Structure 1
Amino acid sequence: MRDELVPLLVAFGRAVRAAGVTAGSGDIETYCAAMVTLDPTDLMDLYWGGRTALVKRRDDIPTYDEVFRAFFLGEHQPVQELLTLHLKSSAQTEAVLDVPATDPPDPAGEQDEEETFMGLMASSVASVRNKSFVACTPDELAALRRIMRQFRLTPPKRRTRRTRPSRRGHRPDLRRTVRESLRLHGEPVALHWQRRRVKLRPLVLVLDVSGSMADYSRALLQFAHTARRASQKVEVFCFGTRLTRITVPLQKRSPDAALADAARLVVDWEGGTRIGSCLDEFARTWGRRGIARGGVVVICSDGYDRGKPDTLALAMERLSRLSHTIVWLNPHKGNDPSYRPQSLGMMVAEPFIDVLLSGHDLESLAEFAQLLPGLA
């Protein structure tokens, strides 16, 4: 892929220089060397790599943006050709989890530009956004996971008992007001205000990796890696016949390395299902330690449980008392708004579920990501 990449980047560097930006041959060479280690099929990497290597003056940024838009997003769209070549080569060398070996983009970029490029990348696979993970080809799944890495999951916030100074608070800050008055030898001062601090609620993902969820578990694990990279207050667990915590492996930046380490920890991959006993173990051990207390618990499962219904009901009742919100992602729900649970496990858990979504395609996961901040 390097043979197709270097001439493309050199042509772009010359186009930037022809537009009036001071970019020498050394700068273009630096750009090419940087893109070898980055992802050339990612518009964010292409943009920021070129902007860092080729642009030296702030006044040249609008010119660079115009050339970039015309070169990479014009009629020819060379990124599409690179993406096709990359998918063909990676489909033959992917690991068991079938995740592209590329790093996610730096979350420190500007929010508006990041959303713009996310929309551009999403438009390239708009035809499969509503396509179930089961029906997608390996190339389509790889493309969907590239867009999935652009998601920014933001857990809802809650007010704490601690306060902070504020210009327009809800109650007066008498301590600061008196201290300021004493500093002025008793002269009257303006009243200071304070409001409560806010913090993110914990987000807990509990993923079903049993045999009945084999067609969805890999995509959900990629989604969990995205959530773990987006926020530090995220815990991830997998279960089949036993519960396994995979939060630590998912801290790695590379999806390949993170998911491979997580897969080695899960010994019951694509095996049986004991939802009730696994959730009960989570509520009794990890939940009581504070991981799920006041947080959002997301359970990704189809509800097919081989255990006792009483155990599942007791575990869901404990979780409902510990957590703030319980979200259940059931792939069998699909896009049917009138869906009613059919399996016994879903019937038992339904009274304790606050939000029921599908999670069977990219669009449903994007819907969850958009809904998550509003669960305050």
Structure 2
Amino acid sequence: MEHLTAAIGSLTGSIVRQVTEFAPWLRDHGFRAGVPETLTAIAALTELNLTSIDEVCFAFRSIYARTPAEWGIFPTLFEQYFGIREARLQEKRRLQSDDLLGGTVAGEKAERPTLETVQGILAGFHSSDGERFALRADGQVLKDVVKLTQLAVRTMDAPRGRKWQSRGREKMDLRRTIRSALRHSGEPFKFKMRRRRPDKPRIVLVIDISGSMKPYAPFITSLAWSFTRVRARTQIFLFSTRLLRVTSLIARKGVEGIPYGDLPGLRGGTQIGGALAQLLHRYPSLLQRHTCVIIMSDGFDAGNPEQMHTSMRDLAARVGRVVWMNPLLGEPGYEPTSVGMSMALPYIDAFVNVHDVATWKKAVLSGALRAAAP
């Protein structure tokens, strides 16, 4: 199986070797694949038509992919490992008003909400669109960023946990009460109270890694890595034209560097509305009333404006707080009049300028991430 295209009648040593090494390679990309999956894949090859690449890919997909995220990125990883066909970049274009929102039946027209726009709306375009780059945290600012992130997390809203802690007036701590009484021979008998301990704050980071965000990538990677080092339930997503969950990858390789080869499926261009729609559809359990969603993007969007409007509306209705960090907000003369920002602004709870340690400190101290009680 140099490329699974040789017309052979039985499995060769090359086939077995490549399939055996496929599972460890998938584990490096976040899959949970081991010996059982490898044996199943080798057994499946004896029944498959090896001249049909798609048939082999579909069979392996059902064996190795366990989650919706793994199911979505598996074809790309399969092509990347076996070298079936060359990767192609999709040329970024501005969707026209007659483009469907996706998933509609042929012959039906998608219902679109009435949108109010302002004068001076700019097209979602940037000169660096289509550029791909590696992610690596700025080691010189990591210590300061982590301290500020810890401060920000302590001020964020968190759900009530299952465990109890001393203090409060909700329930008596019988064990502590009896132990306290025994120290004084049973008198005086003073009640010790306890209350539920707050759970960890829930945070979802959605980071734009299109070409226009390249100058801010080192700091943004540092900020994302810092959220994996604090007491919070954090999930991190990257997006350009699609969405990719990279929480464990950022935690493990954020400091040493993440080449774009480790980010399968992320290509040039920006579709913010489409990425948020994938977040809502594929990860609904992460979006709760105590969740704070932090979007890091400059707002240049080449997707459908109506999809952006719908995604932001649904996201704001589902979570407790939406914070948009735009690194261009501090630039002289900048106005958030691009298509993406115009659609998103009505549903944002905090719109802040974050692109370095100083602006991150200002955002934290201003209470931008502090949500009111739901």
- What is the TM-score of this pair, normalised by structure 2? 0.53
Tell me if structure 1 keeps the 8 A contact 2:137–2:219.
Answer: no
CA shift digits 1:113-133 (9 cap, x unpaired): xxxxxxxxxxxxxxxxxxxxx
Instruction: Say yes or no: does 1:151 pair with 2:148.
Output: no
1:317 aligns with 2:313: yes
Q: What is the deviation of 1:188? A: 7.9
Asked whether the equivalents of residues 213 and 301 of structure 1 are also in contact (C-alpha less than 8 Å), the reply is: yes
Query: Structure 1 residues 175, 372: closer, same or farther in 2, change over 3 A?
Result: farther
Query: How far does residue 334 in structure 1 lie from its aligned partner after superposition?
Result: 0.8
Please give the alpha-carbon distance, in whole angstroms, between the structure 1 residues aligned to 2:185 and 2:137.
Answer: 68
User: Distance between the aligned counterparts of 1:281 and 1:215, measured in 2?
Assistant: 26
State the aligned residue count: 230
Percent of counterpart pairs with the same letter? 29
Q: In structure 2, do the counterparts of structure 1 residues 369 and 255 end up closer, same or farther at CA, with 3 Å as the change threshold? A: farther
Please list the CA deviations of residues 207-233 of structure 1 after superposition, one character each: whole Å capped at 9, or x if unmatched: 111122222234312321232233452
Offset, 1:321: 2.4
| Equivalent residue, structure 1, for 2:164 | 164
Cα offset, 1:292, TM superposition? 5.5
CA displacement at 1:356 relative to structure 2: 0.7
The aligned residue for residue 242 of structure 2 is 242
Give, as a single letter, the amino acid of the residue that structure 1 aligns with 2:303. G
Aligned to 2:199: 199
Confirm or deny that 1:173 pairs with 2:169: no
Q: Deviations over 1:35-86 (max 9, x none)?
A: xxxxxxxxxxxxxxxxxxxxxxxxxxxxxxxxxxxxxxxxxxxxxxxxxxxx
1:316–1:186 Cα change, 3 Å: same
Q: Which residue of 1 aligns with 2:30?
A: none
State the match for 1:284 in structure 2.
281
Q: What is the aligned partner in structure 2 of residue 264 from structure 1?
A: 262
Look up the SS of the partner of 1:306 in the other structure: coil
Q: Does 1:353 align with 2:348?
A: yes
| Structure with the higher fraction of residues in helix conformation | 1
The root-mean-square deviation of aligned C-alpha atoms, in Å, is 3.5
The residue aligned with 1:68 is none
Q: In structure 2, what is the Cα distance between the partners aligned to 1:217 and 1:199?
A: 31
Q: What amino acid does structure 2 have at the position aligned with 1:225?
A: W
Equivalent residue number for residue 225 of structure 1: 225
Give the conservation status (yes or no) of the 8 Å contact 1:164–1:197: yes
The 1:216–1:182 alpha-carbon spacing in structure 2 relative to 1, beyond 3 Å, is closer
Q: Is the 8 A contact 2:201 2:232 kept in 1?
A: no
Answer 1 or 2: higher relative contact order, Cα 8 Å, separation at least 6: 2
Distance 1:298 1:308, change over 3 A: same
Residue 361 of structure 1 deviates from its aligned partner by 3.2
Residue-by-residue CA offset, 1:194-216 (whole Å, 9 max, x unaligned): 22311221121111111222222
Match for 2:278: what amino acid?
E
User: Unaligned 5+ residue runs, structure 2?
Assistant: 1-135
| Structure-2 residue corresponding to 1:98 | none
**Could you tell me whether the CA contact under 8 Å between 1:206 and 1:237 is conserved in 2?**
yes
Aligned-pair CA distance for 1:290: 2.5
**Structure 1: segments with no counterpart, 5+ residues:** 1-141
Aligned-partner Cα distance in 2 for 1:186–1:146: 58
Secondary structure of 1:244's match? Answer: strand
The separation in 2 between residues aligned to 1:143 and 1:307, in whole angstroms, is 29
